């Protein structure tokens, strides 16, 4: 896995390119992220770095979380995430990671929690076809048969049924970076990303 960054979704808008075409974009506030831990294969069994994002008060963290950061002399951070790396010599504790590691035109994968839409039925959640609406049919949006009778005598696991829609970790792959603002740590991505404005996102090179 390539080293990624953490950020928040600001919202969506549209911009125009040189040809006058409209591009739907999402604005992200990314970083700065701090390297809080470097793991090595000799000590931990694998190579990775842990990065932190989002300054908070020390009262917002538990004692173990606070002690982990104070051990490396790093300010309290709200979010921590680990990324696998190949060469740990390129990173050191306290190093700042910004959007300058990305470039316009690059493709990235963005991972975050999708918008929760509550309890939804089969048509909305799984794109089931509805029943006939006329001729005395009483099966319009009902699930219908959910399995065989005596054998196996139960509903098999994994059956598509009504339930909670959204509120799951999802990844949108190969989104194009349109613009980067190094001064404000702003990243402009073509297309949509998971979640509502303010949602925490993980951005990794595709």
Q: Residues 125-159: pLDDT tens digits?
A: 999 999 999 999 999 999 989 999 899 999 999 99
Q: What pLDDT score was predicted for residue 2?
A: 67
Average pLDDT over residues 105-127: 95
Could you say which DSSP state residue 90 is in? G
**How far is the C-alpha of 199 from the C-alpha of 166, rounded, in Å?**
14
Q: Cα–chain-centroid distance for residue 104?
A: 20
**How far is the C-alpha of 176 from the C-alpha of 25, rounded, in Å?**
10
Residues 57 and 86 in one domain: yes
Q: What pLDDT score was predicted for residue 1?
A: 47
How many domains in the chain?
Answer: 2
Q: What pLDDT score was predicted for residue 177?
A: 94
Residues 154 and 137 in one domain: yes
Could you say which DSSP state residue 41 is in? H
Tens of pLDDT, residue by residue over 10-59, are 999 999 988 999 999 999 999 789 999 998 888 888 889 999 998 888 88
Residues 43 and 94 in one domain: yes
Residues 60 and 139 in one domain: no
If one counts every other C-beta atom within 10 angstroms of the C-beta of residue 175, the result is 20
Which of 77-91, 102-116, 149-163 has the least mean pLDDT? Answer: 77-91
- Cis omega (within 30 of 0) for bond into 152: yes
* 195 touches 201 (CB < 8 A): yes
If one counts every other C-beta atom within 10 angstroms of the C-beta of residue 36, the result is 22
- Residue 49's H or E segment, with its range, is strand 48-55
The boundaries of the domain holding residue 146 are: 117-165
Long-range contacts of 182-186, Cβ-Cβ distance < 8 Å, separation of 24 or more: 182/98, 182/99, 182/100, 184/29, 185/7, 185/29, 185/30, 185/31, 185/32, 185/98, 185/99, 186/10, 186/27, 186/28, 186/29, 186/30, 186/99
Average pLDDT, the chain: 91
pTM: 0.82
Residues 110 and 123 in one domain: no
Residues 90 and 121 in one domain: no
Judged against a pLDDT cut of 80, whether residue 120 lies above it is answered with yes
Residues 182 and 157 in one domain: no
Which of 61-65, 84-88, 121-125, 159-163 has the least mean pLDDT? Answer: 84-88
Residues 14 and 56 in one domain: yes
Residues 194 and 182 in one domain: yes
Residues 148 and 201 in one domain: no
Residue with tokens 């699930």: 143
Residues 84 and 109 in one domain: yes
Buried b (16+ CB within 10 A) or exposed e, 68-91: bbeeeebebbeebbebebeeeeeb
Residues 31 and 60 in one domain: yes
Q: What's 190's domain CATH number?
A: 2.40.30.10
């Amino acid at each position: 896995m390539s080293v990624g960054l953490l950020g928040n979704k600001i919202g969506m808008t549209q911009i125009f390119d040189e040809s006058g075409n409209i591009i739907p974009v999402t604005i992200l506030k990314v970083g700065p992220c701090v390297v809080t831990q470097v793991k090595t294969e000799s000590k931990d069994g694998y190579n990775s770095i842990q990065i932190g994002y989002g300054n908070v008060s020390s009262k917002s963290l538990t004692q173990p979380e606070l002690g982990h950061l104070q051990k490396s002399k790093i300010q309290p951070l709200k979010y921590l995430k680990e990324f696998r790396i190949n060469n740990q010599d390129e990173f050191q504790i306290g190093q700042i990671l910004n959007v300058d590691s990305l470039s316009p035109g690059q493709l990235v994968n963005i991972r975050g929690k999708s918008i929760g839409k509550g309890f939804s039925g089969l048509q909305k959640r799984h794109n089931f076809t509805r029943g006939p609406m006329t001729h005395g049919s009483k099966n319009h949006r009902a699930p219908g048969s959910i399995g065989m009778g005596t054998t196996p005598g139960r509903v098999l696991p994994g059956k598509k049924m009504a339930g909670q829609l959204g509120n799951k970790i999802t990844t949108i792959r190969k989104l194009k970076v349109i613009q980067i603002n190094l001064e404000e740590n702003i990243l402009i991505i073509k297309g949509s990303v998971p979640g509502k404005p303010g949602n925490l996102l993980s951005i990794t090179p595709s």
